[in-house]
Amino acid sequence: MMNASLSVAPLTPPPQSPSPSATPPRLAIPGSYGWPVIGPLSDRLQYFWLQGPKDFFAKRAEKYNSTVFRTNVPPAFPFFTGVNPNVVAVLDVKSFSHLFDMDLVEKSNVLVGDFMPSVNYTGGFRVCAYLDTAETKHAQIKDFALDILKRSSSTWVSSMTTNLDAMFDSIESQLTTSGSSASYLFPLQEFLFAFLSLSLLGADALADPEIKKSGHIMLDKWLALQLLPTISINILQPLEEIFLHSFSYPFWLVKSDYQKLANFIENGAKETIERAQTEFKLSKEEAIHNLLFMLGFNAFGGFFLFLISLLSNLGEQQSIHEELRKEVRAKLSNSDLSFEAVKEMDLVNSFVYETLRMAPPVPQQYGRARKDFDLHSHDAVYEIKKGELLCGYQPQVMKDPKIFENPEVFVYNRFSKEKRGDELLNYLFWSNGPQKGTTGPSASNKQCAAMDAVPQTAAVLLAYLFQRYDEISISSNSFTALTKAK
Ligand code: HEM
């Protein structure tokens, strides 16, 4: 079960780390869970309303002068009585890395914390992301996911560009009609749904009129309802606390949409389902619901959040467009757009990694202690007891000042090989594991199966844009100018 390459020890000490020979002090974990009911409720209100997740963690780290402390995280009170909100927050690169050591933590049902959405949302199954590495089913499904990605890699880029052509033709005509801006939020969702269904499952969304029109909206509703108790929207307070964060929503509200999506997969992804049964020994139903989760939650949900940040950063970094465009066009002067071609684009890749550092699309990761163990932060050692839940908040961990210089600033070439910044990939954790320096995702760990495909896909999108356009302007999730390459 142990994956040595993902354990804590191999993290090579970052330059500013305290000298390895200095023995770190052994400290009691600061912070407390407060009075029953009142403590969790007060923390919940701070988390969602009064502070927001970013300040919630930052302010406590400051108060305790520690990157490791005890706190409560939502959901809590009144209708989440079975959920234990007590966690140990781990907020620096070193302490967070314990979450990758499958000898130390187990990951059964802790995808979004101690709270787990009803299995009705996943066809009655505990899908891969909720399984621990000690469960044989985890290995079967994870290997299946890795196999899907490997097989689809040969057609991934061509299928992506075909769908991007359709999306940008439509955005351009919208921009011409409106004269000032064209939002990309829904076009991006339609693109992702069609492209990912085809590439991952082999299912053609365009062949089914209802799915083509509304598949992405069905996924939006399904995602929102299961995740509402844990996500901050912060636009409607106090109504949000009363109506969105106080109880979990029943599955029947999206049951009919979910069934339509499951039917779409059953009919459109026959070959993939058959492979799941013959090669990975899954039942047909297990295959369908795991595929739906991979498509909707992992891929569609993850990419949507990520690409929104990527495009928004592109809009803000107008001054470097020319440099990126030059790199893209130089590398594509003799070759077609492909994963191999984008691998050579040092600055484009660095831009993508910096986006993943500044805005990790999945902000929290959890792991439950399998046994008592010593947890090391940069500064101290703490005792963790078996059964305690660790909660890592990536947006803060990825701004660890002991690893990243000017951590709050978007430095587009931070990870560039030319600047020897690629060593920093050892500390880029968006995929629930380091981007470099380990064996990568496998059946014996919980790292995202698409650790390589995700940044490569984003690099392809950037290269596509700089190849197609001489000028790109973006503001408030809309394109405000697109000038085609001459
Ligand atoms: C931008 C897009 C994506 C993001 C941000 C993302 C992020 C993540 C993260 C953070 C985890 C670990 C969750 C945890 O245990 O706490 C994860 C797991 C997983 N991801 Fe991704 N992911 C993305 C795309 C994909 C895609 C395209 C696939 C395609 C198959 C995929 C498949 C999986 C699977 C199967 C797992 C479960 C791993 C396991 O249980 O061992 N992900 N992903």
pLDDT 10s digits, 338-384:
999 999 999 999 999 999 999 999 999 999 999 999 999 999 999 99
Kindly tell me if the per-residue pLDDT of 19 is higher than 80.
no
Percent helix, strand and coil across the chain, each to the nearest 5: 50, 10, 35
pLDDT at 273: 98
Which atom from ligand 1 is nearest to the alpha carbon of 138? Answer: 40
Kindly tell me if the per-residue pLDDT of 333 is higher than 50.
yes
**298, 353, 428: which to mutate for ligand 1, most atoms within 8 A of CB?**
298
Segment 258-280 shows an average pLDDT of 98
How far does the centroid of ligand 1 lie from the alpha carbon of residue 281, in Å? 21
How far does the centroid of ligand 1 lie from the alpha carbon of residue 145, in Å? 10
Contacts 24+ apart (CB under 8 A), 183-191: 183/477, 183/478, 184/311, 184/477, 184/478, 184/479, 185/308, 185/477, 186/216, 188/304, 188/307, 188/308, 188/311, 189/216, 189/217, 189/220, 189/300, 189/304, 190/216, 191/163, 191/164, 191/166, 191/167
Strands 105-106 and 364-369: antiparallel
Peptide bond into 117 cis (omega under 30): no
pLDDT tens column, 424-433: 999 999 999 9
Kindly tell me if the per-residue pLDDT of 311 is higher than 60.
yes
Which atom from ligand 1 is nearest to the alpha carbon of 441? Answer: 41
How far does the centroid of ligand 1 lie from the alpha carbon of residue 56, in Å? 25
Which atom from ligand 1 is nearest to the alpha carbon of 430? Answer: 10
Please report which confidence band the pLDDT of residue 268 belongs to, taking 50, 70 and 90 as the band edges: very high
Kindly tell me if the per-residue pLDDT of 16 is higher than 70.
no
The kind and range of the H/E element at 456 are helix 453-468
pLDDT at 20: 52
445 is written with which tokens? 């760990």
pLDDT tens column, 416-467: 999 899 999 999 999 999 999 999 999 999 999 999 999 999 999 999 999 9
How far does the centroid of ligand 1 lie from the alpha carbon of residue 354, in Å? 19
Please report which confidence band the pLDDT of residue 8 belongs to, taking 50, 70 and 90 as the band edges: very low
pLDDT at 228: 84
Cβ contact 99:67 at 8 Å: no
pLDDT at 456: 98
Kindly tell me if the per-residue pLDDT of 12 is higher than 80.
no
Nearest CA to ligand 1 atom 26: 299
pLDDT at 153: 96
Which atom from ligand 1 is nearest to the alpha carbon of 446? Answer: 41
Kindly tell me if the per-residue pLDDT of 53 is higher than 90.
yes
Please report which confidence band the pLDDT of residue 1 belongs to, taking 50, 70 and 90 as the band edges: very low
How far does the centroid of ligand 1 lie from the alpha carbon of residue 275, in Å? 21
pLDDT tens column, 164-218: 999 999 999 999 999 899 999 999 999 999 999 999 999 999 999 999 999 999 9
**pTM: predicted TM-score of the whole model, two decimal places:** 0.94
Kindly tell me if the per-residue pLDDT of 300 is higher than 50.
yes
Kindly tell me if the per-residue pLDDT of 248 is higher than 90.
no
Kindly tell me if the per-residue pLDDT of 15 is higher than 70.
no
Nearest CA to ligand 1 atom 10: 431
Binding site as annotated, residues: 448
Nearest CA to ligand 1 atom 4: 302
How far does the centroid of ligand 1 lie from the alpha carbon of residue 323, in Å? 31
Exposed e or buried b per residue across 185-198, where buried means at least 16 C-beta atoms within 10 angstroms of its C-beta: eebbbbbbbbbbbb
Kindly tell me if the per-residue pLDDT of 37 is higher than 90.
no
How far does the centroid of ligand 1 lie from the alpha carbon of residue 414, in Å? 24
How far does the centroid of ligand 1 lie from the alpha carbon of residue 303, in Å? 10
Residue-averaged pLDDT of the chain: 93
Binding site as annotated, residues for heme: 448
**200, 227, 364, 448: which to mutate for ligand 1, most atoms within 8 A of CB?**
448
Nearest CA to ligand 1 atom 17: 448
The kind and range of the H/E element at 469 are strand 469-475
> For 19-28, 377-386, 393-402, which range has the lowest pLDDT when averaged over its residues?
19-28
Nearest CA to ligand 1 atom 32: 449
Nearest CA to ligand 1 atom 40: 129
Nearest CA to ligand 1 atom 19: 448
pLDDT at 21: 54
Kindly tell me if the per-residue pLDDT of 234 is higher than 60.
yes
CA distances from 186 to 192, 223, 326, 391 (A): 10, 16, 30, 32
Kindly tell me if the per-residue pLDDT of 72 is higher than 70.
yes
Nearest CA to ligand 1 atom 5: 302
How far does the centroid of ligand 1 lie from the alpha carbon of residue 468, in Å? 30
pLDDT at 9: 35
Strands 105-106 and 478-484: unpaired
Residues with CB under 6 A from ligand 1: 107, 111, 128-129, 142, 145, 148-149, 200, 294, 298-299, 302-303, 306, 361-362, 365, 430-432, 446, 448-450, 453-454
